[in-house]
Each structure stands twice: as C-alpha cells, then as structure tokens.
Structure 1
Amino acid sequence: MVSTRAAGPTSGHAAYEVVRRVTDPEMPMLTLDDLGVLRGVEIGDDGRVVVRVTPTYSGCPAVATMRDDLVRSLHEAGFADVHVELVLSPAWSSDWITARGREALAEHGLSVPGPALRHDGPVPLTLAPVRRAVTCPRCGSASTEVSSEFGPTPCTALYRCQTCWEPFEHVKEI
C-alpha cells in the first residue's frame, strides 16, 4: 500500500480514464486494465483516489513498478491523494485478460493463454512437464514444444514451433 499527495481534480471517471491507460512494465503492449489486474478505482469524499490491483501472482516483481506508474500517472493528471491497494483474493487468472489484451499479445508475437485450469480443492502436485495446447503465434501451427518453463518474465514460458522453427513466448495459464 502506498499513499502520496499532489493537488487536483475529483472525478472518479477522470481517474479511471488515467489509470486504464497505464501499461504493464513487463508486457508494455498491455494496459493494466487489459491484463486484468486493475480491480477498481474509487474517489472518496475527501478526494482520495484508491486504485485496487491484483498482481498476476503474489511474488510478481512488477508490482512496485505498477504502483509507482499508477501514482505518477494520477499525480501528473492532477490528483492529489493517491493510494494503491493490492487485492490478493480472488487470485488473478489469465482468464481476466481482455479480448483487446489477447489481440495485443498475439500482435506482438506472444502465444495467448488458453482457459485457466480449474480445481475443486487443492491443486494437485505433479512433477511431470505441464501440458498445454500452444499454437505458434507466427505460423499458427499446433506442433510446438516447450523449451523452458521460465521465460523473460515469470508469467511466460519459452516454446519453439516445430513447423517454422521460430522460438516464442507463451503467457502461462494461471
């Protein structure tokens, strides 16, 4: 949680319009809104803007930068008192990525996540490789193989197409 002061407008709609354009620091082709991490924007009677975000996972290294970018953008728009709150429940799901966000990922050569797996109860622990139906974002082939479960960001995995042989990132289903 962060709270800061500047000086300015009081419209909740105006605050939301500013916040919804802030981009993700790790995948800048997405806004936080399109990524699905933006949970709400409210302005209190005292003019304080409260922005609620849910990180893609609890250890996301981009959370501090997201917070700083939100605060800076609102201050630049003239909002005086800004508070960013992390909302951890319900946990973020890749299903929350908007259609526009999915299009932006594909346009930038990233493989778009499929539906997130749902479990009624504890998540089973398996040591086998994760099996996903991943399509190459370049040629559309379903003949792909995982190179590494760990991409340049923690929420991506590295794949290689077995048809066009191009490497690509896949946004993990969470």
Structure 2
Amino acid sequence: MTAVLTRGDVLERALSVAATVVDPELPMLTLLDLGVLREVSLDEDGTVVAAITPTYSGCPAMATMRDDLVHELRAAGFDRVRVRVVLEPAWTTDWITPEGRAALADAGISPPGAAPRRDGPVAIQLMPTRRSVTCPRCGSAEVDLTSEFGSTACKAMYRCRVCLEPFDHVKEI
C-alpha cells in the first residue's frame, strides 16, 4: 500500500527543507533564523514557492540564497520550485530569531540590538551610528568602533577594550 501525501504534508516537508538553507555570508544562520525566508507555499499546480526578502537593497547574497533554496528543494525531490523576492515590508534585524542571535554570539559576532524606529524619511548621517554593543567574547560594553564596514556590508568592526579582541557587529536595520 502506498501512502498518499496531502497538500499539507507536502507543504510541511518543503518548509522543513527550506528552513535548513544557510545564509552564504553568515553560515551559522539559516535563512529562517535570519528572517529572510518569509514563506513557503504551494501554487495550484504543486510548484513550491519560497519567498525571501533581502537584508538590504542590492544585497549580493540574494542570488546565492535563491540558488541554494532551489538546489536543496530539488535535491529533496521537489521538481517544480520557484523563489520570489518580497520587498515589502522591508527586512529588519528585528526579524532575526532568538536562536539566530545566539548563533551569532556563539560565532563571535555581536548580534544587533533593536532596530531604529522611523516615521517618514531617513535623515542622512555623516558620522558613525551610535550603537549599544557588547563584546561577544567577554560581554564587556567597553568597545571601540574600528570600522563602519566589516567583512560584509551589513556588519561593522569593533574591538573590545577589556579582552582586546576584534569582532563583527551586525548593524541594526
């Protein structure tokens, strides 16, 4: 006797596969923990549709995220896969899960604080953004910004004045 899978079973399986895909720039995070994977659904014809939101406009990792999602879903037996990009609402670091924040800290990357709230236009700021940052290694708040630009555009570089270790900090967006 062959088991018959319901649409819900297929969708649940597709979501569980998509939830394992990691971010190419922060491989300690899944796209789900990063908050980039917004939805997994099935079209009327059974096509698996994964919706992702870029972390910022022009994010160079989007093509890799898309390709990795398609590859993993096809490898899991889903023949028809499509990835759509959702731009609204814009992604925010507030969407990073608690598990994702813990994974960042465990990897020596300072997780972001609360994203700034804005109504209306964003003012241009020429000075570095003030952030509440603690060292992911020793927990000290005695840190110095060494560069507004870290190993990726979404991170800044800091150095702890207590343990003297440099570290990345994910910028609040």
TM-score (norm 1): 0.93
Shift of 1:129: 1.6
Alignment of 1:1-174 (within 5 A): 11-174=10-173
Residues 97-126 of structure 1 show CA distances to partners (whole Å, capped at 9, x for unaligned) of 000000100000000100000111111112
The code of the aligned residue for 2:91 comes to: W
Structure 1: state its 5+ residue gaps.
1-8
Q: May I ask how many residue pairs the two structures share in their alignment?
A: 166
Residues 35-65 of structure 1 show CA distances to partners (whole Å, capped at 9, x for unaligned) of 0001100012311011100010111110000
Alignment partner of 1:111: what SS?
Answer: coil
Alignment partner of 2:149: what SS?
Answer: coil
Alignment partner of 1:52: what SS?
Answer: strand
* Stretches (4+) displaced over 2 A: none
Structure 1: distance between partners of 2:58 and 2:161 = 33
TM-score (norm 2): 0.94
> Contact between 1:109 and 1:169, CA under 8 Å: does it hold in 2?
yes
The code of the aligned residue for 1:70 comes to: L
> Contact between 1:47 and 1:80, CA under 8 Å: does it hold in 2?
no
> Contact between 1:56 and 1:93, CA under 8 Å: does it hold in 2?
yes
Structure 1: distance between partners of 2:42 and 2:87 = 21
Identity of aligned residues (%): 61
Alignment partner of 1:160: what SS?
Answer: strand
Alignment partner of 2:54: what SS?
Answer: coil
The code of the aligned residue for 2:83 comes to: V
Structure 2: state its 5+ residue gaps.
1-5
Structure 2: distance between partners of 1:127 and 1:61 = 24
Shift of 1:127: 1.0
The code of the aligned residue for 2:55 comes to: T
Alignment partner of 2:50: what SS?
Answer: strand
Structure 2: distance between partners of 1:17 and 1:126 = 41
> Contact between 1:94 and 1:115, CA under 8 Å: does it hold in 2?
yes
The code of the aligned residue for 1:76 comes to: A
Structure 2: distance between partners of 1:125 and 1:118 = 15
